[in-house]
Amino acid sequence: MGWNGQPPLKPKLGASNMTMLPEASAIKLGLVIDLDICVGCQACVVNCKEWNTSGYGAPLSDADAYGAAPTGAWLNRVHAYEAGTGADARTVHFPKSCLHCEDAPCVTVCPTGASFKRAEDGIVLVNEDWCIGCGLCAWSCPYGAREMDPAEGVMKKCTLCVDRIYNDNLPTEDQVPACVRTCPTNARHFGDLGDPNSDVSQMVTARGGFDLMPEQNTKPVNKYLPPRPRRAADDTPVSLLSMAQDATPTGFWKWVDSTLEKLG
């Protein structure tokens, strides 16, 4: 068992000790990421690295960290895209981590049983004691959610902070994934996407949340919320000079203005 009597962090021995996908779980823990709000500050990226280098499994190592070409294992990356053209183009910051897919190809391709999806809550994990570091799971993931640890030689991936969300030793407000806890703009949300009445599910319904690469048939649990429609732009050109000239001073500045005018 994991700590606090919570679901185990390793696959159960016996008949279920196979990288077959479990029956779809009723509870589908995952993230909802709001592309309208994310400002690309990378705080989630850094806090993810910070928490996961000291939590579940081997540390998230870096290679050549202070050299010319540093590289390392990170479980969360924020891309930036431009969508649209001309005046309508907009910058969209795009966080990407494991989507904890219902039909996770990374689980079924694993030859050792190290890669598994929990029947209890749908979290996809890697048992690092069994992983041979063949990399096939990373090849099978369309999203690039898995990265090989350069020091440990095992596959690393988002654990949905399984060592936070069930951890009663932490204050309630900290029992969410590190990326969600740290997001300063509230662009990341954590919850049960298997429950249609949960906050995250309702957010997905209200905002038209969508799957990434639905054509890959992975059925991601994580959902993304689209940027909200843009408000109609005011076509009148804004001139700071005319604003300054037209401004009528009041109070102290009115006195300064009139005194200066008296001085000629």
Site for another protein in 18-37 (CB under 8 A): 18-21, 35
When binding is defined by CB under 8 A, the residue of 112, 186, 242, 258 that contacts another protein is: 112
Pairing of strands 29-34, 223-225: parallel
Min dist CB 192 to another protein, Å, is 22
**Total number of residues that touch another protein (CB under 8 A):** 71
When binding is defined by CB under 8 A, the residue of 32, 47, 49, 113 that contacts another protein is: 113
Min dist CB 57 to another protein, Å, is 13
Return the structure tokens found at 174.
């900290």
Binders in 122-141 for another protein, by CB under 8 A: 130-136, 138-141
Site string for another protein, 192-231 (x = CB under 8 A): ------------------xxxxxxxx------x-xx----
Range list of H helices, 183-231: 199-207
Site string for another protein, 141-160 (x = CB under 8 A): xxxx--xxxx-xxx------
d(CA 149, CA 51): 16
Min dist CB 185 to another protein, Å, is 17
**How many helices and strands, by DSSP H and E, does the chain display?**
8, 11
Binders in 72-111 for another protein, by CB under 8 A: 72-74, 77-85, 88-92, 94, 96, 105, 107-111
* 232 Cβ neighbours under 8 A, 6+ residues apart: none
Min dist CB 61 to another protein, Å, is 11
d(CA 115, CA 20): 10
Min dist CB 55 to another protein, Å, is 20
Min dist CB 160 to another protein, Å, is 20
Min dist CB 233 to another protein, Å, is 15
Contact (CB, 8 A) for 157 and 126:
yes
Site string for another protein, 34-73 (x = CB under 8 A): -x----x----x-----------------------xxxxx
Cβ nearer to another protein, comparing 21 with 165: 21
| Amino acid at site 71 | T
Contact (CB, 8 A) for 189 and 206:
no
Give the H/E segment covering residue 244: helix 240-246
Q: In what order do the strands lie in the sheet with 188-192?
A: 188-192, 29-34, 223-225
Contact (CB, 8 A) for 90 and 79:
no
d(CA 150, CA 143): 20
